Amino acid sequence: MDILHLVPGRSPACLASIDRLPEEGMVWIDFVREQQPDWPALIQPLVGVEIDSEHVADSLNDRHPPFFDGTGDYDMLVFEGLGPKDDPFPLDTRVGTMFLFDRLLVSVRAVDAPSYQVIRARLNNGRLKCPPSPVLLAQFILDAMVDRYLKVRDILDQRLTALQDDLLDPGTPQQRWRPLLAGRRVVRRLESLGEAQHEALDAWRRGTRFEWSQAEEVRFRDIVEHVVRVTQHAGNLERDVEAAVDLHFASVGYRTNRIMKTLTVISAVFFPINFITSLYGMNFEHMPELHWHYGYYIVLSVITVVAGGLMLLFKRRGYF
């Protein structure tokens, strides 16, 4: 558990413990879900409010989808950010929950959720000014989460482009479409996650108990815009992957058709040759051609003329 006392115009103060809210500024209490599942026991006496048991259960669920709910005493926002790795294969996410009281922000997160740690570090080193409200602090955290999605979006774009190039290269193994389909599942999940995040943010703005300042409105619109950009880009990537896979199988079908056409031409050329040779391979006694002095050369000439004529005919018709 980390406790920060934030007063605008001052440096953040780290508190070892807290039994009441300071008279000025606000407080951010950051819990690690795995380490402190009983976090409401500290918060409820501090704010004098009983936290809904379902909300507590939601905060302890590390698979909860993005979601907003609130009461007359606080707002609760569940948001899903990326894990510590930048590699989007697979798309590794961490669920975090924020409870917004009048002068208190409570966050319940995974131990390796990086965005919370990034904001705390920026506040401590002065890169971020202490916010005047829990709403703005929550928006700082959300902004850090969404920015990591923007970074992963570029990495995903480069990786899928390389996979598509490999897939359409005729010299590469034919199983290259499998990692591309795995990439398709990643972008589909990213698109679905973006839609759920957008819905949660929209529900937060419509259902919040706080009166937002102009700065909070501007930052909120910026966060929503970034979420929409990630969602739309994921949708575009999914369509590109589908087009590449379709083109790959069309190319495979085309190569198969070329092979079948070549085999058909060869079969058509050898069919009359096989007929002639099998005809004179019969063991009937009265076959006068068998006693001709030049019979072998005549049959060989007929075979050559038939095969050459068929090859010339197929060539003129563009069969090969």
Domain ranges of the chain: 2-251, 259-316
Q: Residue 276: pLDDT above 60?
A: yes
Percent helix, percent strand, percent coil in the chain, to nearest 5: 60, 15, 30
Residues 151-156 have a mean pLDDT of 84
Strand runs labelled E in the chain: 2-6, 13-15, 26-32, 67-70, 75-82, 93-100, 104-109
| pLDDT value at residue 36 | 93
Residues 184-204 have a mean pLDDT of 93
Q: How many CA atoms lie within 13 A of 15 on its CB side?
A: 15
- Burial of residue 310 (CB within 10 Å: 0-12, 13-18, 19+) is middle
| pLDDT value at residue 227 | 95
Q: Considering the domain 2-251 in this protein, what is its CATH number?
A: 3.30.460.20
pLDDT band for 248, please (50, 70, 90 cuts). low
Q: DSSP code of 60?
A: T
Q: Classify 259-316 by CATH class.
A: mainly alpha
Give backbone dihedrals phi and psi of 9, rounded to 5 degrees, phi first.
90, -5
Q: Residue 174: pLDDT above 60?
A: no
Task: Give helix 134-167 / helix 177-207 axis angle, nearest 10°.
Answer: 160
- Placement of tokens 């999605």 in the chain: 149
Residues 207-222 have a mean pLDDT of 95
Q: Residue 173: pLDDT above 70?
A: no
Please name the amino acid found at residue 18.
I
| Global confidence as pTM | 0.78
Q: Residue 82: pLDDT above 90?
A: yes
More confident residue, 54 or 289: 54
Q: Residue 320: pLDDT above 90?
A: no
pLDDT tens figures, 297-313: 888 888 888 888 878 88
Neighbours of 229 (CB within 10 A): 15
Residue 160 contacts by C-beta under 8 Å, 6 or more apart in sequence?
180, 183, 187, 237, 240, 241
The token duo for 152 is 């992963």
Rounded distance, CA 135 to CA 174, Å?
Answer: 52
Q: Residue 128: pLDDT above 60?
A: yes
